[in-house]
Structures are given as structure tokens and as C-alpha cells.
């Protein structure tokens, strides 16, 4: 044992976070102990607070501290325009861009035959019901460009076909991206979707 | 704001940990919220516990939950053999190797003219007093092979010269290390310290 039990336990728990392994968890814990008043105590308190209050929005699946998240509750945002994303991280990424002014729908994953994830395990039935209830005019499928993501997008498109306008995010060269570092698929997608200047 | 205030605050606090930036802190927090009962709540509780109990060993400077750490309190470990390390992470690394059976002394940093760190800011006076009090026979200087580390080692060696046997860790090729990936300094140190087979 390289330190007392309590500290070892804390290291083991920290090592379970994504992006941290045993070594970086040890470094993080030493830093925490060193900055007890500045970091460890506030972090413990904040985690406790979030553990008690965090919940999923009953409409879109976003993580927040209220039954209906601040996006769904925002009257200024367009209703009838729903952006479908895989998980909350994608929703947050869209929000950081700050251009989308509609509502979201978080699926909570993608369909996967391998992992036995069917539509019922995701929030797909909720989405279909929601499109009808809210009288949505457009559904933007902002799913990841992975095979599972695209299968999920096709499945949803099949289900909603004819009921609502269906769109997906444009594929192409990232803004500021260099061709030299891009994969072949992206370059060919960008070329196929080329536009008049 | 991409989520409610409490969650944002937690992300900001997590992003201050070494090895985590804003993006990985967000990922970690989403994981925490998803695994609330398995991870978030136990982690919050453990952090609170460590925040209340963690302290520096009054003898060696190791981090633990008792006034005297389990190493200093261990009667089976050799007295009079003191391994001097820069910080607690180094002490833990030595302990993981599991071969050293003496005691430690954590300096808490290295001398640095640039950062205005003098011997008084480190636990160097404590070390010198301890060597005399405990009648130490050997002091192993296991400081990092950086310039500041080596300056600190020289300073301590100067202070203790003639009073105790002074040694340092051997330098050479790491066990399992490939020459191709080693820096020139290590190769030349290993060559200079070559041994008869």
C-alpha cells in the first residue's frame, strides 16, 4: 500500500473517469490534497450537489437540474425544429456553436445489432411521438458519421418519412482544416457536395 | 450556457485537475452524471472524507490520514536509511517498486532561483536536523535528473558532507528499454557506468 486506505480508494474512483488512468488519477489526487481548500473541498461539495440534483429533461433528454431543461423551457427558441443528437455531449457541442435556435432530442446512443440496442432502448419512440404531438416541421439528424450513427439516422428517416422535413448536417472540409490532414472520405464528400462560388 | 449552472461549475472545477482540460472535464462530468450511484456519489463522499482527514506526515512529508504516516510508523523498516525525494508522487513510485525498506523524506519541490525557492521553502532544514537526530547512516538522494533537481541534490550533499554516507540512484538504461528510444544523455550515462558481466 503506497498510502493510506482512504486515499487509495479515492485514486481508484478517480481512475474510473474517462481520460484518467491509474497514473494520472494519482497525480490528480495529489494535486487535490495539495489544494485542499481551493479544489478538493469545493469539488466534493459540488459533486454532492450535482449527485442530488442532476436529472434528465423529460422532453429532450438533456442533463440539467430541472424536470424540463433550460432549452426546452426557453420560449424564444423555435418549436417544431428538432435536432436529433446521439448524446448530451453532442447537444452541448451544438450549443457551444450557438447557431441552432430550435430544440433538441437526445437519443442516448445508436442502434447496434452487436450490442443489442434496438429503437426501444433509445429515445426513438419518444421522438416519433414528439414529432406528431408538437407538429414539428423539420427534424435535423445530427448523428455521428459512424456506421451505427448512419444506420440509426436511416432508421429514424424511414419512420418519419412523409411526416416531416428531414435534413442532416452538411459534410465537408472543417473550417480552418487542412486538406493534407483530412481522411479520404471527408475529401470525397466535400468534393461531391461542392458549391458554386 | 450549455447546461445548468451547477453542472457548469462542476465542469470548471474538474478542468482544474492535472491531465484534464475543458473538453475532457465535460466528458468526465457527463460520465459522472450517467453513473451517479456507481461513481458520482461515492466519489463525492470519498473526496469529502479525504478533504477532512488528509494530512502531511510530520516526519517525512508523505500524504496520509494520520499524524505519522504508515511508513514512518512501520517498525520493520530500517531507521537511519533516508531516501530523499522531490514530492509525494516520487515516494509512491519508489514504494510501488517495493524494494526500498528504509524511510523517506519529501522535500516538496526543488531549489529554484527563478521561482525564488530557497532551502527554507523546502523541507531541507528538517532533513538536516533529522539526519542528526536519528543518527542516520545513509541518505539516498533520489531527486529528478533535471537541472533544478541536481542543484538541489548538490546543495543537500554539501550540507550533509562528512556527516553521513551520501548516495544517488544509478543512471542507465531502463529495464526493458530500447536503446533506439533513449536520449543521448541516458545512453552516455549508461556507457560511462558500464559494469563487468
Mutate which of A13, A39, A47 to test chain B, going by most B C-beta atoms within 10 A? Answer: A47
Asked if B87 contacts B93 with a C-beta cutoff of 8 angstroms, the reply is: no
Rg of chain A (C-alpha set) = 21
Contacts of A53 in chain B (CB under 8 A): 6
B2 has a pLDDT exceeding 60: no
Q: What does the pLDDT average to over A99-127?
A: 92
Average pLDDT, chain B: 90
Cα(A42)–Cα(B9) distance, rounded to whole angstroms? 10
- Please report the pLDDT score of residue B167 as a whole number: 93
Q: What values do phi and psi take at A132, rounded to 5?
A: -70, -50
A1 has a pLDDT exceeding 70: no
> Among the listed ranges A84-98, A155-169, A173-187, B89-103, which one has the minimum average pLDDT value?
A173-187
- Please report the pLDDT score of residue A4 as a whole number: 80
For A64-111, write each residue's pLDDT tens digit: 888 899 999 999 998 889 999 999 999 998 998 888 999 999 999 999
Task: Please count the other Cβ atoms lying within 10 Å of the Cβ belonging to residue A141.
Answer: 21
Higher local confidence (pLDDT), B171 or A84: A84
Regarding pTM above 0.90, the answer is no
B1 has a pLDDT exceeding 70: no
Helices B22-34 and B5-14: crossing angle, nearest 10°?
Answer: 120
Asked if B127 contacts B84 with a C-beta cutoff of 8 angstroms, the reply is: yes
Number of helices (H), then strands (E), in chain B: 7, 6
Q: What does the pLDDT average to over A16-42?
A: 92
Asked if A84 contacts A156 with a C-beta cutoff of 8 angstroms, the reply is: yes
Cβ distance A63 to B20 less than 8 Å, yes or no, reads no
Cα(A34)–Cα(B62) distance, rounded to whole angstroms? 11
Rounded to the nearest angstrom, the minimum Cα separation between B183 and chain A is 23
Average pLDDT, chain A: 90
Closest CA to B102 of B63, B142, B132: B142
Q: Which of A46, A66, A91 sits opposite B13 (nearest CB)?
A: A46
Cβ distance B3 to A62 less than 8 Å, yes or no, reads yes
Cα(A33)–Cα(A41) distance, rounded to whole angstroms? 9
Q: What does the pLDDT average to over B44-70?
A: 91
- Please report the pLDDT score of residue A181 as a whole number: 83
Cα(B188)–Cα(B176) distance, rounded to whole angstroms? 17
For B111-152, write each residue's pLDDT tens digit: 998 889 999 999 999 999 999 999 999 999 999 888 999 999
Cα(B159)–Cα(B138) distance, rounded to whole angstroms? 14
ipTM of the complex: 0.81
- pLDDT band, residue A179 (cuts 50/70/90): confident
Q: What does the pLDDT average to over A176-197?
A: 84
- pLDDT band, residue A3 (cuts 50/70/90): low
- Please report the pLDDT score of residue A41 as a whole number: 94
Cα(B184)–Cα(B181) distance, rounded to whole angstroms? 10
DSSP string, A95-144: HHHT---SEEEE-SS--BTTTTB-GGGTTHHHHHHHHHHHT-SEEEE---
Contacts of B16 in chain A (CB under 8 A): 39
- Please report the pLDDT score of residue A194 as a whole number: 84
Closest CA to A59 of A158, A153, A108, A130: A130
Element (H, E) at A52: helix A41-53
DSSP state of B82: E
Residue B195: all three cell numbers together: 559494469
Give all domains of chain B, ordered by start, each with its CATH number: 2-53 (1.10.8.420), 72-196 (3.40.1360.10)
Amino acid at each position: 500500500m503506497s498510502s493510506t486506505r482512504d486515499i487509495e480508494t479515492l485514486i481508484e474512483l478517480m481512475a474510473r473517469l474517462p481520460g484518467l488512468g491509474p497514473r494520472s488519477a494519482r497525480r490528480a489526487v495529489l494535486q487535490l490534497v495539495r489544494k485542499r481548500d481551493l479544489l478538493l473541498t469545493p469539488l466534493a461539495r459540488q459533486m454532492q450537489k450535482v449527485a442530488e440534483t442532476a436529472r434528465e429533461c423529460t422532453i429532450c433528454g438533456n442533463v440539467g437540474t430541472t424536470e424540463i431543461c433550460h432549452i426546452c423551457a426557453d420560449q424564444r427558441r423555435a418549436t417544431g425544429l428538432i435536432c436529433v443528437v446521439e448524446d448530451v455531449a453532442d447537444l452541448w457541442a451544438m450549443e457551444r456553436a450557438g447557431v441552432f435556435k430550435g430544440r433538441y432530442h437526445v437519443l442516448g446512443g445508436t442502434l447496434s445489432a452487436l450490442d443489442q440496442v434496438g429503437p426501444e432502448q433509445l429515445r426513438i419512440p419518444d421522438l416519433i411521438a414528439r414529432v406528431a404531438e408538437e407538429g414539428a416541421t423539420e427534424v435535423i439528424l445530427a448523428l455521428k458519421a459512424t456506421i451505427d450513427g448512419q444506420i440509426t439516422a436511416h432508421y429514424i428517416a424511414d419512420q418519419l418519412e412523409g411526416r416531416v422535413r428531414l435534413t442532416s448536417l452538411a459534410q465537408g472540409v472543417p473550417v480552418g482544416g487542412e486538406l493534407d490532414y483530412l481522411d479520404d472520405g471527408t475529401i470525397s464528400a466535400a468534393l461531391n457536395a461542392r458549391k458554386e462560388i
